[in-house]
Amino acid sequence: MDVSSPERAARMGRRRWLRWAVGAGVAALLLLAGAVGWWLRPLPAPPSCEPGPVDPERLKAHVRALSETFHPRDFRHPENLERVAAYISEHLARAGGRVESQPYRVGGTRYRNVIAHFGPETAERVVIGAHYDTAGPFPGADDNASGVAGLLELATLLGQQPPPMRVELVAFTLEEPPYFRSEHMGSRVHAKSLREAGVKVRAMLSLETIGFFTDAPESQHYPLDALRWRYPTTGHFIAVAGRLGDEGLVRQVATAMRGGSTLPVEFLNAPADIEGIDFSDHASYWAEGYRAALVTDTAFFRNPRYHEATDTWDTLDYGRMAQVVQGVQCAARELTRP
């Protein structure tokens, strides 16, 4: 046996690792350069859009009911989650949606998604969703009663002005820990069912924490300090975020939302492992091969009450939340164009 062969093998192994690292680094730089190019490209003029009226007081009533009447609504309280599901079902049906449930079991306990269809029964569809459970026994006003309230008011707008193709509004359960990023998330159950049925989804939007805004200086933070040179340091905007590869979708949604109100709209595409990029139900649709994006106030990067007992209904800005809903209506119009 050649005693030097282990050393040669080690050197070859190091060289292979170095070649892989250099290649991966180059690929990452190319992806980053592409992403930066998308960030720096100005958005086109938003398409013409006159959204329907959204009453801030109705949003407030929904958030207060979800965060007070049905509190707590974490996975340990399935009876309250069922009451929330019934509340959501009633309001979606009242808005004109064709409502159905998607029940499933986790550890012997029954949970369910609530689904409402608007528009004609086309083969292709757009999915817009928000989760109604909370992390622990907290009120969860911003996270995520705000998203659910937005979904219910969007349903009213879609009922009044039906879209030209099927729009599926979904209220998800079990987004929060301990089921976050697992096959037990309601959004993962829904996305998987669509994929198994061969359903074509044009796009999915996740409404996640859409109610906290502030004009305080230095109130907005980011997962990377370098992002501060491109984005505001004041938490007065709504954000549209997605993974690399979905730049077209993110820009389309952000552009359309800018046409719906005067609320500032920022957008970002980044690698999915950047903190926060995959922190909601849209990631479940990525896992099944669908295009998806997140609409958010950026949660813990702005709201100090995130996952705290102080995340209460009276801390949210319902006027600006109403503008978010109007923006999402304009995005839905743009996404459902023939």
Express each pLDDT in 188-212 by its tens digit: 999 999 999 999 999 999 999 999 9
The whole-number pLDDT of residue 279 equals 95
The whole-number pLDDT of residue 43 equals 80
Express each pLDDT in 278-323 by its tens digit: 999 999 999 999 999 999 999 999 999 999 999 999 999 999 999 9
Reduced 3-state DSSP string for the chain? CCCCHHHHHHHHHHHHHHHHHHHHHHHHHHHHHHHHHHHHCCCCCCCCCCCCCCCHHHHHHHHHHHHHHCCCCCCCCHHHHHHHHHHHHHHHHHCCCEEEEEEEEECCEEEEEEEEEECCCCCEEEEEEEECCCCCCCCCHHHHHHHHHHHHHHHHHHHHCCCCCEEEEEEECCCCCCCCCCCCCHHHHHHHHHHHCCCEEEEEEEEECCCCCCCCCCCCCCCCHHHHHCCCCCCCCEEEEEECCCHHHHHHHHHHHHCCCCCCEEEEEECCCCCCCCCCCHHHHHHCCCCEEEEECCHHHCCCCCCCCCCCHHHCCHHHHHHHHHHHHHHHHHHCCC
The whole-number pLDDT of residue 249 equals 98
pTM: 0.89
pLDDT < 50 stretches in the chain: 1-6, 8-31, 33-37
The whole-number pLDDT of residue 8 equals 45
The whole-number pLDDT of residue 4 equals 40
